[in-house]
């Protein structure tokens, strides 16, 4: 029973779509596209028709393209007291002249189930990142557009694992920069919570036996393959982050890079709320690398 509960904590998704760009006065298109392993993903092209693109890959479990919500029932506990609407920072991107592809990873939001009904800690979701990039680079309006990748938690693991493949992200010239928000994998998270090794092994074995993934598998060996400028952002007050892993992730990067330590609430979710409330660091990084010939407007909404 305990191993199932732990495996559920790491892999069972509860992420309804709760918001819409129209609520923020944003033009958008509903889109869908397929992954190489035949999963249909759904998302929005927000502020369509621009000459530069942000691709957002959200964090796992309690999240979808719209952000975090407490609306779904039943919920044993609230990870954050209020909703975290990602469309707030996506609106700031729109004000800077970006189209944003915000999509749901498999088993989240409105996207289809994968081969497993459980989140796979990036080990299946890397297909989703590759599919999102293919969708943009094959779209007639964006095939020549420079791309900034916004990779959040499990989204950053998925992005990292999308390197080192014949069609890996390192071969995509359109990608100009990454922003990695709070990199983590579930095994490291469990160790930070003080779980003994035998319990983590038991939870992993349960996850694999029911068709899920080994969520105690670090993607650190792929980080060196990232070949575009990368900013890493981490809340230093995050109680479940493995700070040694965050530092190792940053140190393994062999590109132009910047480490940003934020000082927000004593919660992992505080780092995601800070992204939406204060996207200026992300906008400045993308402005420097995604569209460097354009003067970046730093007067950001709520900035």
CATH of the domain at 26: 3.40.50.1820
* Angle formed at CA 95 by CA 268 and CA 292, multiple of 5 degrees: 90
User: What pLDDT sits at residue 250?
Assistant: 98
Q: Is residue 80 part of a domain?
A: yes
Q: Is residue 175 part of a domain?
A: yes
Averages of pLDDT over runs of 10 residues in the chain (303 residues) are 81 83 98 98 98 96 89 60 93 98 95 89 94 98 97 96 97 98 88 85 86 88 98 96 96 98 93 96 96 51 42
Q: Is residue 251 part of a domain?
A: yes
CA distance 185 to 180: 13
Q: H helices within 139-240, ranges in order?
A: 154-161, 186-192, 197-209
Q: Is residue 296 part of a domain?
A: no
| Number of folded domains that form the chain | 1
C-beta separation of 43 from 91 below 8 A: no
CA distance 247 to 232: 9
Neighbours of 82 (CB within 10 A): 10
**Range of 195's domain?**
2-289
Q: How many residues does the chain have?
A: 303
CA distance 182 to 270: 11
User: What pLDDT sits at residue 293?
Assistant: 59
CA distance 178 to 170: 12
CA distance 89 to 68: 13
Q: Is residue 298 part of a domain?
A: no
Q: What's the number of CA atoms in the CB half-sphere (13 Å) around residue 199?
A: 12
Q: Is residue 194 part of a domain?
A: yes
C-beta separation of 10 from 186 below 8 A: yes
Q: Is residue 300 part of a domain?
A: no
User: What pLDDT sits at residue 60?
Assistant: 87
User: What pLDDT sits at residue 298?
Assistant: 43
Q: Is residue 124 part of a domain?
A: yes
User: What pLDDT sits at residue 262?
Assistant: 97
Question: Is residue 102 classed exposed, middle or buried when 0-12, 13-18 and 19+ CB atoms within 10 A define those classes?
Answer: buried
């Amino acid at each position: 029973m305990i191993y199932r509960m732990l495996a559920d904590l790491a892999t069972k998704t509860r992420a309804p779509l709760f918001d819409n760009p129209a609520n923020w006065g944003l033009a958008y298109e509903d889109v869908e596209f397929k992954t190489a392993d035949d999963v249909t993903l759904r998302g929005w092209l927000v502020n369509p028709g621009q000459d530069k693109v942000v691709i957002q890959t959200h964090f796992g479990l309690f999240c979808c393209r719209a952000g975090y919500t407490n609306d779904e029932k039943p919920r044993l506990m609230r990870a954050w007291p209020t909703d975290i609407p990602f469309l707030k920072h996506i609106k700031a991107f729109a004000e800077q002249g970006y189209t944003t592809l915000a999509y749901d990873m498999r088993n989240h939001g409105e996207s289809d189930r994968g081969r497993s009904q459980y989140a796979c800690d990036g080990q299946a979701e890397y297909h989703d990142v590759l599919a999102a990039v293919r969708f943009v680079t094959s779209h007639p309006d964006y095939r020549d557009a420079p791309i900034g990748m916004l990779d959040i938690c499990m989204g950053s693991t998925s992005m990292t694992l999308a390197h080192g493949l014949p069609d890996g992200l390192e071969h995509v010239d359109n990608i100009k920069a990454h922003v990695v928000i709070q990199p983590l994998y579930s095994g490291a998270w469990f160790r930070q919570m003080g779980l003994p090794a035998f319990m983590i092994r038991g939870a992993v074995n349960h996850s694999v036996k029911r068709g899920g993934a080994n969520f105690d598998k670090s993607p650190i060996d792929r980080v060196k393959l990232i070949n575009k400028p990368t900013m890493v952002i981490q809340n230093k007050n995050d109680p479940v982050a493995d700070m040694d892993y965050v530092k190792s992730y940053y140190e393994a990067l062999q590109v132009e890079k910047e480490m940003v330590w934020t000082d927000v609430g004593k919660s992992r979710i505080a780092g995601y709320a800070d992204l939406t409330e204060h996207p200026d660091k992300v906008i400045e990084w993308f402005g420097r690398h995604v569209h460097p010939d354009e003067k970046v407007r730093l007067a950001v909404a709520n900035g």
